[in-house]
Amino acid sequence: MDLPYITDVLDTISDANEKYGDPRTRNWFMLFGTPVPVWILTLSYLIFVTYAGPKFMQNRKPYSLQYFMVIYNIGLVILSVYMFVEILLSTSAAGYDWLCTPYTKDTWKDPKEQRVANVLWYYGISKAIELLDTVCMILRKKGNQVTFLHVFHHATMLNIWWWVPTFIPGGQTWFGSCLNCLVHVVMYSYYGLAVIPSLRDKLWWKRYITSFQLIQFVITFAHSLQTYTSGCDFPLWGQYLLMGYMIIMVCLFGNFYIQSYIKNKNTRITVAKSKKTDSANGMISELHSSNGHSAKNGSITNGHSSQDVKHRPHPTN
């Protein structure tokens, strides 16, 4: 089957890889000098999430996966801790500056940079492993958790982290990935504990994970903006990619935070006030009834018929 457009795109990427790609990482696993394997994995993921997975689970009971989920999340916590520490140690050994570390062809020649490239490659592979988050949600029939934000974030991170270790596995790339590993230590610790029923109600810090993520995006954007304004010798396309993606993440995660925690909180307050008012009205009705002012079959109570008071709609309906 001839696909000239895709062939042209792949030829362009291949030429760019030959000219500008890091020769150290070119044939590493998941990179292979071409994005095709990552594209296939992404397409398979999207098909499973949007069609195959829900179809498979349609007439099946949800799988518990409790033991798997605990082991899986603990594994990701350990991996995230390792990558966080290793990024700090390897960049320190390579003499990285926190504000500006250039990435040029000379970077390839520095033996100390090999350690940095290795851990950034591990980080890219972790984005493929994390696709199992969504697979587990679908197998457990937690469809309400499979949001656009969730799927978009996982699919795009997988693809971005083909480009990064292929072309810029070093320099300013270290900062955002290091900070993200720290966030994931907290996040996957929560997920692992939340699977255990006896601990679920004791985990009070769920909302703060989203706050931590938003802070991460803002800090990473500020760091990238500083890279741009200071004229740091780091590929411009990498700076634009990172700043643009951080803006998208702030918008999507910010909207999630507002919908989940601010609007829901206001709704709960409104419901509580409504219940309190209804309760007070009920007490008044009982008082009138005890004084002989209430009658059956549609009598007037506190300005409303007794039928109306009983069937007053919930304010959220």
Residues labelled catalytic: 153
Closest CA to 253 of 294, 293, 215, 223: 215
CA distance 218 to 214: 6
Cβ atoms of 124 and 114 closer than 8 Å: no
Q: With the C-alpha atoms ordered 139, 143, 149, 151, is the resulting torsion angle positive or negative?
A: positive
Cα-flanking dihedrals φ and ψ of residue 103, to 5°?
-130, 110
Cα-flanking dihedrals φ and ψ of residue 223, to 5°?
-65, -40
CA distance 93 to 80: 20
CA distance 90 to 171: 12
Instruction: Output DSSP code: residue 259.
Output: I
Distances (CA, A) of 281 to 47, 273, 300, 301: 53, 12, 13, 9
Closest CA to 128 of 155, 167, 164: 155
